[in-house]
Amino acid sequence: MKIYRFDQEVGKHITQFDSSFIMSRVVAADEPAHIGCMHIKAEGIVGYHKAVSDQLFLVVAGEGWVRGEEDEKTKIKTGEVAFWEDGEWHESGTDTGMTAIVIESTNLDPSIFMPDKDDQ
């Protein structure tokens, strides 16, 4: 499991077409992708299971924890992304509530656009 960032501090200021906003790119998918939104209530959990493809878990509200095949839980918050590879066992949960966008596809490489959380 790896943790990346997509908060505005790592984004790029876009001014084309008289625009003014920050864009934090996440990933490009060459294969079909499944994209969903998880609403996990306080004390909620997404049980320990095997990823059916590469998976990005982008926290857009709240905070919680994630873990891969190791027993250690890693804190995760708004603006951070967990990445699990195809076949990797994983779990996530929250004490206070968390909303996450989930992107599942083949051959995802989030390191192209997002910095690793530990490289800061």
Task: Give CA–CA dist 6/32, Å, rounded.
Answer: 22
Average pLDDT of the segment spanning 34-59: 95
- For residues 40 and 116, give the distance between their C-alpha atoms in angstroms, rounded to a whole number: 24
Average pLDDT over residues 29-56: 94
Q: What is the CATH number of the domain that holds 78?
A: 2.60.120.10
How deeply is 93 buried, as exposed, middle or buried, from its count of CB atoms within 10 A (0-12, 13-18, 19+)? Answer: middle
- Has residue 20 got a pLDDT over 90? no
Residue 106, pLDDT above cutoff 90: yes
The stretch 22-38 carries a mean pLDDT of 91
pLDDT above 70: residue 120 = no
pLDDT at 8 over 90: no
Confidence of residue 71 (pLDDT cuts 50, 70, 90): confident
Range of the domain at 93: 2-119
- Distance in angstroms (rounded) separating the CA atoms of residues 19 and 99: 28
What percent of the chain is predicted at pLDDT more than 70?
A: 98
User: Which is more confidently placed, 119 or 27?
Assistant: 27
**End-to-end Cα distance, the chain:** 17
Please count the structural domains in the chain: 1
